[in-house]
Each structure stands twice: as C-alpha cells, then as structure tokens.
Amino acid sequence: MTTERTLILLKPDAVERALRGEILRRIEAKGYTIVALAQRTATAEELAAHYAEHEGKPFYAPLVEYMAASPLVAVVAEGERVIEGFRSLAGTTDPTTAAPGTIRGDLGRQWDAPVLQNLVHGSDSPESAAREIAIWFPELG
C-alpha cells in the first residue's frame, strides 16, 4: 500500500452550519492524518483553476458564485487509499440518496438552490489530488 494525499473542501454550507468539527472528526476517526488546513474565502483564481474542467457548463457560474460567497475550509488529508476512502466516507453527491453513516447521508440536506449544496468535495484521483492540492496549498504542491 502507498500513502496518498487528497484535497478535501468543506464547502460553505458545511461552514455556515457549523459542521467543521464533526466532519474533521470523521476524517480523523477513519484514521487519516490532517496535513494542512485553512479556512478562507476562495479567490476567483482558485475557483477557476479548481473547476476549470467544468467551465462553460450550465452549472459552472452558479457553482463558482456559491463557493466564493462565504468561507470554506480546505484540507489536505493523508493515509492509505485516502482518496477512495474519503469519497466513500463522504457518500454520493446527492444528500437525499446518500447512505446513512456517510457525511452527506447523515448531515446533508436537499436544497432547491441553483447548486447542489452537499457539504464536501474530495479529489477523485491521484492526478486530481496533486493538481487540487497545488491550487489550495501551493507550498505542498
């Protein structure tokens, strides 16, 4: 097994609902190590780089607007198979159908908003993780 790193974003809805501690507790309880953590309001440049693959899609502008509207928490977590493990811990993107026991299944809400507010983002591959970590934590990239 190889130790991996992943980027996790606690999205504005997680911060606004004061779920930071619970989400971080679940990450650490799973056995992952928090390598870096910062709460801040994302810049337009960070969001453009992070969501570059979605530029031009109908949900892009509302997504960037939502992510920039209030603070988020960027986290780098490390551990064995952390990318796959965190995505399983997070649950499916739709909080209504996410399994109980997952972050989104237990804590998520379904909103009639232009953008699905689903608490967290996790990198989907080692390549994405490296690219995303370099955006949010250039000192680690």
Which positions make up the binding site for ATP? 11, 59, 87, 93, 104, 118
Active site residues: 121
CB 111 within 8 A of CB 104: no
Q: Which is it for the CA torsion 35, 41, 68, 24, positive or negative?
A: positive
CA distances from 5 to 55, 69, 76, 135 (A): 25, 27, 7, 14
| Residues paired with residue 34 on neighbouring β-strands, in sequence order | 77
Known binding-site residues equal: 11, 59, 87, 93, 104, 118
